[in-house]
Structure 1
Amino acid sequence: MTARASVSLKIATSLDAKIALSNGTSQWITNSRSRARSHQLRAEHDAVLVGIGTVLADDPLLTARTVPLPDTQPARIVADSRLRTPDASRLVGSTSAGRVILAHAQTPQEAAYGNPAVETWAVGGQTGQVSPQELVRRARAEGLDRIFLEGGGKLAASFFSEGLVDRIYWFRAPIIIGGDGLPSIAALGLSEMGQTSRWHLAGREDIDGDSLEIWDPA
């Protein structure tokens, strides 16, 4: 098997595993100390990865804002099949802080992005979407050995489906959102219990009423 980067999935949810209200409101589910812990985890990885939906909805910066700041910021990767990341986004406007990479599924003739400071990786699969397998292989080839995957739910599901999640950092807030909330992991299309993956609780932290559970494959 071709060497690949390892993937840690970070999820921040209510007790019933929802990442937002039905209208998309998600600020803030977890408390400030949990968010600070998440920034620490970003700093411990080589790259932070999100999907284009997260970029379009939240306009995140994705830097590790620790105290003190890390010597080197993790690279920031967007799974952006059709190169829709706005040039006016905070992400693109902060390339001086560290690498910004758009992982896309366009052909060489189609692939064009206006900002030369932004890297583009052609890592498309047969479905016309970004291939998680190709993305983690390209990351390793680029010297990015540890990826911190922050969602959204569809991107997380695609990595689970390919067996590419090596650790889960699950932040839970002591609130209930209900069945109309947005799920943390999108549909996996399973039809038998034998298709599910099993996980082992490797650690747990209490964070001012929130909790952080660390899960490894069983």
Structure 2
Amino acid sequence: MPRPQITLKLATSLDGKIALANGQSEWITGEASRAQGRKLRARHDGIAVGANTAVLDNPQLTTRIAGEPDPQRIIFDSRLRLPVESNLVKTAAQIPTLILYDGTMNVEGYSLANTDVTLLPIKKDARGLDVVDAMAVLHGRGIKRLLVEGGGTLAASFIAAGFIDVIEWFRAPIILGGDGRNGIGPLRLETLDLARRYDRVELRELGDDIYERYQRLDGSSA
């Protein structure tokens, strides 16, 4: 099945957390890591986040780099929870914004249907929106390189499907503890041989943070 080449970007604490239990996440990593993350956005056709990230963080998902294009913004929002006053909706006329939702829903009457976002119906599976169907839809719309930025549930769905070709991991020297929000959600593995494995191909310091780049063991890359 044709699909985009997919990169997972993680910005976490040492123990793999992306936020406190109350959702606070600004800022776990330092400015050097955030600048590198914005450069990553510029190298991709699309950037994807889950509904929780879109609603709680109210991000813009832009490069904020002069002369660099902004990727299309993709929100996995099965129940169309994104508020019309969010940054993503308010700027959808300037930057294409795609909302993937549960294809069994009737969108008539939803406020998002009367905005500049593009609503795309997607099949569902046991984890939520079917990432196989979603990737086929996005590939058909010209998205060949996709950056997945969060949150943990969405990351787990892509990993479980075997769709993560590259991991770009920015790790800050702090520990948030077991009640923090995980960068990667449950994978429901029963044996270690089912775990996805990656080669680390780069390791360096970015300010106080550590940056690591991993590729799939089969050699594919985004």
Q: Does 1:104 align with 2:101?
A: yes
Unmatched tracts of structure 2, length 5 or more: 218-222
1:10 maps to: 9
1:161 maps to: 160
Offset at 1:205?
2.8
2:185 maps to: 186
Offset at 1:128?
8.4
Return the TM-score normalized by structure 2.
0.92
Q: Is the 8 A contact 2:170 2:210 kept in 1?
A: yes
For 1:160 and 1:213, locate their aligned partners in 2 and report how far apart those are by CA, in whole Å. Answer: 17
Range moving further from structure 2, 149-158 or 110-119: 110-119
Q: What do the CA deviations read for 1:106-149 (whole angstroms, capped 9, x no partner)? A: 33644653334211111122448311111111111100101100
What percent of counterpart residues are identical? Answer: 37
1:176 maps to: 175
Range moving further from structure 2, 25-34 or 116-125: 116-125
Letter of the structure 2 residue corresponding to residue 197 of structure 1: R
Offset at 1:86?
0.9
Letter of the structure 2 residue corresponding to residue 192 of structure 1: T
Q: Is the 8 A contact 1:166 1:216 kept in 2?
A: yes
For 2:137 and 2:148, locate their aligned partners in 1 and report how far apart those are by CA, in whole Å. Answer: 15
For 2:144 and 2:208, locate their aligned partners in 1 and report how far apart those are by CA, in whole Å. Answer: 33
Q: Does 1:148 align with 2:147?
A: yes
- Let me know the Cα RMSD of the aligned residues: 1.5
Q: How does 1:64-75 map to 2 (within 5 A)?
A: 64-66=63-65, 68-70=66-68, 72-75=69-72
Q: Is the 8 A contact 1:18 1:183 kept in 2?
A: yes
Unmatched tracts of structure 1, length 5 or more: none
Letter of the structure 1 residue corresponding to residue 141 of structure 2: E
Q: How does 1:22-101 map to 2 (within 5 A)?
A: 22-66=21-65, 68-70=66-68, 72-101=69-98
Runs of 4+ that moved beyond 6 A: none
SS of aligned partner of 2:11: strand
Letter of the structure 1 residue corresponding to residue 45 of structure 2: D
Range moving further from structure 2, 48-57 or 88-97: 88-97
Offset at 1:202?
1.2
Letter of the structure 2 residue corresponding to residue 87 of structure 1: V
For 1:104 and 1:190, locate their aligned partners in 2 and report how far apart those are by CA, in whole Å. Answer: 27
2:194 maps to: 195
1:130 maps to: 129
Return the TM-score normalized by structure 1.
0.93
How many pairs are equivalent?
Answer: 215
SS of aligned partner of 1:97: coil
Offset at 1:49?
0.2
For 2:192 and 2:75, locate their aligned partners in 1 and report how far apart those are by CA, in whole Å. Answer: 32
Letter of the structure 2 residue corresponding to residue 98 of structure 1: I
1:208 maps to: 207
